[in-house]
Amino acid sequence: MAGFLTASLLATLIAGTLNGLRINSAPFRCWYYRILKRIVGIRVVVHGQPTKAKPHLVVSNHISYFDIVALGSLIAGDFIAKADIAKWPVFGIMAKAGRSVFIDRKRSATSNARDQIQERLDDGDTLIMFPESTSGDGTHMKPFKSALFTVAERHVTDRSGVKGSIVVQPVSIAYTRLNGLPIGVGWRPFVAWYGDMEMVAHLWHISKLGTLTVEIMFHPPVTLAQFANRKALAAHCDRVVRQGMAGLLAGRVAA
């Protein structure tokens, strides 16, 4: 755990400096997450391909803070997080240095958050969001909150100056193996971080278990223009991600 904290604090200082100099810190953060995977013992198995569209929105189920490490090691993007994370000691500072966009999810996005989101999209940035609005137990996924898909209603302008809908890519995450052995239903809650679990105690426990295998499935990207409304888009992403997670846990992954 000491290695995790040391690397994270150093990365926070570097990312914060790059942000202050108005240098895009996303590639550095992606590299940092790849280093962090080795430190904490995470093996990532990827199915499918991340979209190359710029900008785009990634929507994924949420199981643990390790989701951020796993996704961050594959996608050079900024996370959309709930507002109270900004107030957390240490981790709040790290999230700010990571250019997270903080949203008050009880009142949907604030005007400030909406402005930040549009600014990131105008800059061609990738945004990563967990629409469950909380983390699950590793077996069951909570419904996606359609209100959070207001991000998908933002317009982006391509190089030719034509405005269009932002590309949305659904992603499924599942923790499938521990030290190479399948993680059964009974062990998944020990790997997941949810409810009233203390983060430091959970991290300390996980760090002693061994190597975790995280499987990530990238589904075909879509846009809001393909659906009747935001709720229909949210329902589609919920269904695709839910089916993908179930398939990963069951070891049934389409070739």
| pLDDT value for 208 | 66
Task: Decide if 168 contacts 235 (C-beta within 8 A).
Answer: no
pTM equals: 0.86
Domain harbouring 98, CATH code: 3.40.1130
Other residues' Cβ atoms within 10 Å of the Cβ of residue 225: 10
Separation between Cα atoms, residue 250 and residue 255, nearest integer Å? 14
- Which residue, 164, 173, 131, 146, is CA-closest to 54? 164
- Which residue, 21, 175, 14, is CA-closest to 98? 14
The span from the first CA to the last CA of the chain, in angstroms, equals 37
Mean pLDDT for back-to-back runs of 10 residues, the chain (255 residues): 68 80 85 87 93 91 88 91 68 71 64 75 87 79 89 72 81 91 76 61 65 94 93 96 94 70
- Angle (CA) 250-242-221 rounded to 5° is 115
Residue 128 forms part of a structural domain: yes
CA distances from residue 235 to 79, 122, 232, 240, 249 in whole angstroms, order as listed: 21, 26, 5, 9, 21
- Which residue, 167, 169, 173, 247, is CA-closest to 217? 173
Residue 137 forms part of a structural domain: yes
Separation between Cα atoms, residue 72 and residue 217, nearest integer Å? 14
Separation between Cα atoms, residue 69 and residue 52, nearest integer Å? 20
Residue 179 forms part of a structural domain: yes
Residue 235 forms part of a structural domain: yes
Separation between Cα atoms, residue 145 and residue 226, nearest integer Å? 19
Residue 129 forms part of a structural domain: yes
| pLDDT value for 207 | 67
Residue 255 forms part of a structural domain: no
Q: Which domain holds residue 158?
A: 2-250
| pLDDT value for 255 | 45
**Structural domains counted in the chain:** 1
Residue 124 forms part of a structural domain: yes
